[in-house]
Chain A
Amino acid sequence: MKVAIIKYNAGNIRSVSFALDRLGVEHVITADPDEIRGADKVIFPGVGEASSTMKYLKDNKLDELILSLKQPVLGICLGMQLMCSYSEEGDVDCLGIFKEKVKKFVLPNPNPQLIKVPHMGWNAITNVNSDLFDISLENKFVYFVHSYYVALGGDTAATTHYIHPFSSALHKDNFYATQFHPEKSGDVGSKILENFIKL
């Protein structure tokens, strides 16, 4: 088993690597196309801004590479958003693996519950329906940090409620993605990463 974490100008790569270390999973952090193509599993992490990151992916031809992958791929946070068709963050077309769109959270008005943006902290995943999850993970808390969300759609693999329901995970063919950070979601997150590794 060899896992490749795609190395690019994103923030949480080290955290994902440490999480795999804790699971005892061999992995490399790499931008080398052959190494990524040859891996059993690929993780596409990400923390940052969508349009500038999308530009970076294109400039480095990582967009074509990701689209061409046939093994299980897991996008995390911004990685998930970049796998969607379009993001309002910087008004940018993304990879289009998932047809869902990325929108900005808009605070309710009035806002009596003092809802904040970013959506930061622990929230529950519901209606889990992908092999990334098992039924024991229904309604479990995972850690989120994001100001943009993926609307519900045909690829939705888990639903979370914040202001309104949104896609907290997506799944289509060999592509999986989580809006939350499994690498920071305690034992629940470890289980989800383990499930991905076992695919």
Chain B
Amino acid sequence: MLAKRIIPCLDIKNGMTVKGVKFVGIKEVGDPVELGALYAQQGADELVFLDITASHEGRKTFVDLVKRIAQHINIPFTVGGGISELKDAEALLNAGADKISINSSAVKNPQLINDMARNFGSQFVVVAIDAKHFDGDEWIVTVNGGRIPTEKRLFPWAKEAEDRGAGEILFTSMDHDGVKQGFANDALAKMSTDLSIPIIASGGAGSMEHFKDVFTSGKADAGLAASIFHYKEIAIPDLKQYLHNEGINVRL
């Protein structure tokens, strides 16, 4: 049976790992390669490296860092941030990235999803969506690290991304991110039911119970978190043992 995945996310700025509360007030917490290797050894199922300031400052991605990560880490990893053209993705693929995530650039140019999927395969294309809850079922998709609201709405956009060839959706609730009160389980469950590709839940992890909830009521395929791992509030081996004890299929 396919295991539920635990994914530490390493937000990168200037080659260092950072994690902001609601994306504001960034603090450095370590070297990405060292931290990534440690998480892999502890039982992380995948890693995500996001160059969080890339799209804001228009910087291109961090190919050299990606190559170092690929050399040292023996589990899959996704890289994102500032990928807006096929050649950006190709450079990352050649550096050893298993998947790329696109966010703002896909909102601006949805055709990019089709082009990426056709050129590199759907398995390579993660569409990341940052959204803020508006009312009822309505979530507003935001871009540039949550700074700019768009015309797009979460559920139709996620479905469109799937139809265009996305291999996974990484959904971050901007209302839950950094608050540590649990994931956006209702929205996640709806998305997981509507779509037939895997959903990675992001934003809100504060306790081990929150992961249990996101896999049961949130119906997510993977749970992503950053600060609780970086600040050692939850150790990955403890989390996996807990989930196993709660009857959730995880890789021990």
Q: Do A and B bind each other?
A: yes
Q: Are A19 and B74 in contact, CB atoms less than 8 angstroms apart?
A: yes
Stretch at the interface among B16-24, B119-127, B151-159: B119-127
Instruction: List B residues 156-176 near A (Cβ within 8 Å).
Output: 167-168
Q: Are B45 and A47 in contact, CB atoms less than 8 angstroms apart?
A: no
Q: Are B251 and A122 in contact, CB atoms less than 8 angstroms apart?
A: yes
Provide the A115-151 mask, 1 if CB < 8 A to any CB of B, else 0: 0111111111000000000000000010101110000
Interface-centre pick from A47, A116, A189 (highest chain B CB count, 10 A) = A116
Instruction: List B residues 124-142 near A (Cβ within 8 Å).
Output: 124
Instruction: List B residues 217-252 near A (Cβ within 8 Å).
Output: 219, 221-222, 251
Q: Which residues of A contact B98 (CB under 8 A)?
A: 12, 15, 145, 184
Provide the B31-72 mask, 1 if CB < 8 A to any CB of A, else 0: 000000000100001100000000000000000000000111
The answer to the question of B148 belonging to the interface, with a C-beta cut-off of 8 Å to chain A, is: no
The answer to the question of A91 belonging to the interface, with a C-beta cut-off of 8 Å to chain B, is: no
The answer to the question of B94 belonging to the interface, with a C-beta cut-off of 8 Å to chain A, is: yes
Q: Are A121 and B5 in contact, CB atoms less than 8 angstroms apart?
A: yes
Q: Are B198 and A120 in contact, CB atoms less than 8 angstroms apart?
A: yes
Q: Determine the distance from Cα of A166 to Cα of B2 in the docked complex, in whole angstroms.
A: 13
Q: Determine the distance from Cα of A141 to Cα of B195 in the docked complex, in whole angstroms.
A: 26
Q: Are B193 and A114 in contact, CB atoms less than 8 angstroms apart?
A: yes
The answer to the question of B197 belonging to the interface, with a C-beta cut-off of 8 Å to chain A, is: yes
Residue on B nearest A119 in the bound complex, by CB: B2
The answer to the question of A100 belonging to the interface, with a C-beta cut-off of 8 Å to chain B, is: no
The answer to the question of A22 belonging to the interface, with a C-beta cut-off of 8 Å to chain B, is: yes
Q: Are A121 and B222 in contact, CB atoms less than 8 angstroms apart?
A: yes
Q: Are B95 and A14 in contact, CB atoms less than 8 angstroms apart?
A: yes
B44 to chain A, nearest CB (A): 9
A187 to chain B, nearest CB (A): 7
Task: Please pick, from B40, B71, B219, the residue contacting A21 in the complex, using a CB distance under 8 A.
Answer: B71
Q: Are A14 and B94 in contact, CB atoms less than 8 angstroms apart?
A: yes
Provide the B172-214 mask, 1 if CB < 8 A to any CB of A, else 0: 0000000000000000000011011110000000000000000
Q: Are B40 and A186 in contact, CB atoms less than 8 angstroms apart?
A: yes
Q: Which residues of A contact B72 (CB under 8 A)?
A: 22
Task: Please pick, from A47, A107, A122, A161, the residue contacting B123 in the complex, using a CB distance under 8 A.
Answer: A47
Residue on A nearest B167 in the bound complex, by CB: A118
The answer to the question of B146 belonging to the interface, with a C-beta cut-off of 8 Å to chain A, is: no
A145 to chain B, nearest CB (A): 5
Interface-centre pick from A48, A145, A189, A190 (highest chain B CB count, 10 A) = A145
The answer to the question of B30 belonging to the interface, with a C-beta cut-off of 8 Å to chain A, is: no
B86 to chain A, nearest CB (A): 14
Q: How many contacting A-B pairs (Cβ < 8 A)? A: 92
Q: Which residues of B contact A189 (CB under 8 A)?
A: 74
Q: Are A121 and B221 in contact, CB atoms less than 8 angstroms apart?
A: yes
Task: Please pick, from B46, B96, B196, the residue contacting A18 in the complex, using a CB distance under 8 A.
Answer: B96
B67 to chain A, nearest CB (A): 8
Q: Which residues of B contact A185 (CB under 8 A)?
A: 74-75
Q: Are A145 and B123 in contact, CB atoms less than 8 angstroms apart?
A: yes
Q: Are B219 and A116 in contact, CB atoms less than 8 angstroms apart?
A: no
Q: Are A18 and B2 in contact, CB atoms less than 8 angstroms apart?
A: no
Q: Determine the distance from Cα of A180 to Cα of B108 in the docked complex, in whole angstroms.
A: 35
Given A141-B251, A183-B74; A122-B124 close (CB under 8 Å): no
Q: Which residues of A contact B96 (CB under 8 A)?
A: 14-15, 18
A86 to chain B, nearest CB (A): 20
A10 to chain B, nearest CB (A): 10
The answer to the question of A56 belonging to the interface, with a C-beta cut-off of 8 Å to chain B, is: no
Q: Determine the distance from Cα of A118 to Cα of B165 in the docked complex, in whole angstroms.
A: 11
A76 to chain B, nearest CB (A): 13
Given A107-B196, A123-B2, A141-B251; A118-B74 close (CB under 8 Å): no
Provide the A42-73 mask, 1 if CB < 8 A to any CB of B, else 0: 00000111000000000000000000000000
For the complex of A and B, list the 5 residue pairs with the smallest distance between their C-beta atoms, beginning with the closest: A141-B251, A122-B3, A122-B251, A145-B123, A14-B96
Selected A-B contacts with CB under 8 Å, 25 pairs = A11-B93, A11-B120, A12-B98, A14-B96, A15-B70, A21-B71, A114-B192, A114-B219, A117-B196, A118-B198, A120-B123, A120-B167, A121-B222, A122-B5, A123-B1, A123-B2, A124-B1, A143-B75, A145-B167, A147-B123, A181-B76, A184-B75, A184-B98, A185-B74, A185-B75
